[in-house]
Amino acid sequence: MVGLGETKLRILERLRTRSASAGDLARELGLSRVAVHRHLADLEAHGLVRARTEKCAGRGRPRQVFQAVDAEAPYARMCGDMLAHLRELYGPDAVFEVLEARNARVKAELEPRMQGRSLEARLELLAEFLTERGYQAEVHREAGRYTLKQRRCPKLALAMEHDELCQAELRLYQDLLGVPVAQECRIAGGCGCCRYRVEEPEG
């Protein structure tokens, strides 16, 4: 990030929490739209942000919003190419086998620490594990169910091209927690966070 300048870093940090339009950024950061557009163009050229079109509720016109792309984007592109080649050579099952092997390593690390703990304690351990790896995860409880939120996605550039990563992540959480888990939204799909609904076991 060296050399980006304070204003660009402020914009980038803001976009890491959720996507925003140039107008949103101008209002929140006290900048002109012209200045924001200039900074966004530079950040996009560096591969640090990505623009997309977002539909508005009702009959409103679609608007352009921006979201941060993780700093490891060049490595993500290389990994993405490798996954694409793997799929071409051996089929989609080969990609899932690789991701399942990674899941197995994570489970080997976390399952002994989760054994015998309550669902809430297992969720807190999972959130702590994810936060240590850059996901900025948190757990909420409401109306008899838990919600796991991830406000950042370290693998965003890769996940935007390969949704198998998000599918593998969901399976990992289901295996670790031992209860139904549903993915409600994801950053790679344009949401402000990745959100998982975790159901408490009956009885």
CATH code at 185?
3.30.1380.20
Chunked in runs of 10, what are the mean pLDDT values of the chain (203 residues)?
69 84 94 94 82 75 83 68 89 91 96 95 96 91 90 81 91 96 88 89 69
SS (H, E, C) 160-199: CCCCHHHHHHHHHHHHHHCCCEEEEECHHHCCCCEEEEEE
pLDDT at 2: 40
Contact between 198 and 181 under an 8 Å Cβ cutoff? The reply is yes
What residues pair up with 158 in beta bridges, in sequence order? none
Give residue 161's identity as a one-letter amino acid code.
E
Q: Is residue 90 part of a domain?
A: yes
pLDDT at 156: 79
Helix residue spans in the chain (DSSP H) = 6-17, 22-29, 33-45, 73-90, 92-114, 119-132, 156-159, 164-177
Residues 52, 142, single domain; the answer is no
Question: In the prediction, which pLDDT does 162 show?
Answer: 84
Residues 20 and 86 in one domain: no
- Answer yes or no: do 81 and 167 share one domain: yes
Same domain, yes or no: 154 and 189: yes
Are 28 and 4 within 8 A, CB to CB?
no
Q: Is position 1 within any domain?
A: no
- The answer to whether residue 181 sits within a structural domain is yes
Task: Please tell me the total count of domains within the chain.
Answer: 2
Asked if residue 88 and residue 41 are part of one domain, the reply reads: no
In a domain, 134, yes or no: yes
Give pLDDT, residue 4: 61
- The per-residue pLDDT for range 83-107, each reduced to its tens digit, is 889 989 998 899 999 999 999 999 9
CATH number for the domain spanning 41: value is: 1.10.10.10
Same domain, residue pair 94 and 141: yes
188 and 115 within one domain: yes
Domain range spanning residue 39?
6-68
Q: How many CB atoms lie within 10 A of CB 89?
A: 8
Residues 64 and 97 both lie in one domain: no
Q: Are residues 134 and 96 in the same domain?
A: yes
Please count the residues of the chain: 203
pLDDT in tens, 69-87: 765 556 667 788 888 899 8
Does 133 lie in the same domain as 118?
Answer: yes
Q: How many CB atoms lie within 10 A of CB 55?
A: 10
The verdict on residue 44 lying in a domain is yes
Q: Determine contact, residues 166/159, Cβ cutoff 8 Å.
A: yes
**Same-domain check for residues 134 and 186:** yes
- Answer yes or no: pTM beyond 0.95: no
The answer to whether 71 and 77 are in contact (CB under 8 A) is no
